[in-house]
Amino acid sequence: MSITLRDVEEQDLENILGLNNAAGVSILPISMRRLQQLERVSRYFRLAEVNGEIAGFLVGLTPDADYDSPNFLWFQERYADGGFLYIDRVVVDDRFRRHGIGRVLYCDVLSFAEVRFPTLCCEVFIEPRDDVSL
């Protein structure tokens, strides 16, 4: 299986929205408007494709992002001076789980962040427990 990574483009948003909102309890559902806002304010928004199909995506934000998520704001209040990349959401299509899609996305964002930001942070639900993400 060949995995291709690329930046998200506007024409991808409808498919990404469907993938996001089908992810279950570990990913909060969002509206198209909110997804478009994420596209505008994110510093990292890439997807993984397998045979031309979107298999997963990852969104990363920096402290200057105009984003009102309580968890993002918590990091913004504490780490803005030093800089960080905040991983807001990572979604892998159920059909592509256990094929390394998440690992490839995390490796890519780590490579992107390590030369730009001293801190890389990620939100993970522990209540309810999210074993898939952990």
pLDDT digits (tens, 9 = 90+) for 46-76: 999 999 999 999 999 999 999 999 989 999 9
Q: Structure tokens of 103?
A: 């690992």
Name the percent of the chain lying above pLDDT 90: 77
CATH C-level class of 3-122 = alpha beta
CA atoms within 13 A on the CB side of 123: 20
Please give the Cα distance from 22 to 67 (Å, whole number): 22
Please give the Cα distance from 133 to 111 (Å, whole number): 20
Distance from first CA to last CA of the chain, Å, rounded?
Answer: 24
The β-bridge partners of 45 are: 59
